Amino acid sequence: MIKSPAEVELMAESGRLLASVFTWLDGQPLAGRTTMEINDLVEAFIVGDLTARPASKGQYGYGFVLNCSRNEVVCHGVPSTEDVLQDGDIVNFDITLEKNGFIADSSKTYLIGEVSPAARRLVQTTYEAMWKGIRAVRPGARLGGIGHAIERHAKRAGYSVVQDYCGHGIGRDMHEKPEVLHFGRPGTGLPLREGMVFTIEPMLNQGRRTVRTEDDGWTVVTTDGKLSAQFEHTVAVTADGVRVLTLRPEGKAART
C-alpha cells in the first residue's frame, strides 16, 4: 500500500502519459463518432504514440481500453459501434495506462456540442467535488475527510453521491487497498501516510443515488434515468500534502 519514492516517480510517469491521452482527446472532434471509434483511436494513441499498455483491456475479462459512460450511464459503459455521440450529450471517458509496471487511472466528463445548462452545472459541480476531495489529502488526515468534502459539496448543489462505487489504491495492480469512499465523516477512516497512492473518482447524480447494472454485466445506469457525471485523478500522499499524478493542463488552476 505504501510506495517508495522511486515507485511514486514511476507512477508519475504513467500518470503524465495518461494525462497526455486526455490532452490529445481534447483536440479530437467527438460529435458524430461512435464510442467504439473513440476506443480504437485511444488504443492506437496509447500503444503507438506512447508505447504504453492500455491497462483496462483484458482486466476482469473486459475487452476494451476505456469505459464510455454517456448521460444516464454512471460508470463502466461499454464502447459500441451503434453508440453515436450527439449534440447535447455528456460522456465520461475512463482510461487506464500502464508503463514500466505501474498503472495510472483517470477520467473526464466531456460536453458534446451545445449542452443544457442543467447538464453543464452537474458536470462542473462534479469536477469541483473531485477537487474538494483532493484538497483534503495530506499526511495524518483520514479517508473519511475526503468523502465528507466531496459529499458536502455535492449535496449543497442539490446532487446525490453514488455510494456503490469508490476510489481505490493503485500501483502494480489496478485495484489495491485502500477503498476511498466519496461520502463519510471527518476524523474517521484510515489515516493517510506519505507514499499512499489512490484514486479519487466521485460520481454525482442529478436525482437519486441509486443505480443498477444492465444485462451486459458492465454498464451501470441511474435508476431514475437522470444524468450522472464523474471525474477521476490518481493522487499520491506527499510529506506535506498531495501530488496529482494524472494532472491535466486544465487542472493546474484548480489544485490551488
pLDDT one-digit tens code per residue, 143-186: 999 999 999 999 999 999 999 999 999 999 999 999 999 999 99
User: What residues form DSSP beta bridges with 70?
Assistant: 91
Q: Which helix (H) or strand (E) holds 15?
A: helix 5-26
Upper half-sphere CA count for residue 80 (Cβ side, 13 Å): 12
Contacts of 239 (CB under 8 A, 6+ apart): 139, 194
Return the pLDDT at 250: 81
> pTM for this one?
0.96
Residues 6+ apart with CB under 8 A from 164: 211, 220
Residue 253 has pLDDT above 80, yes or no: no
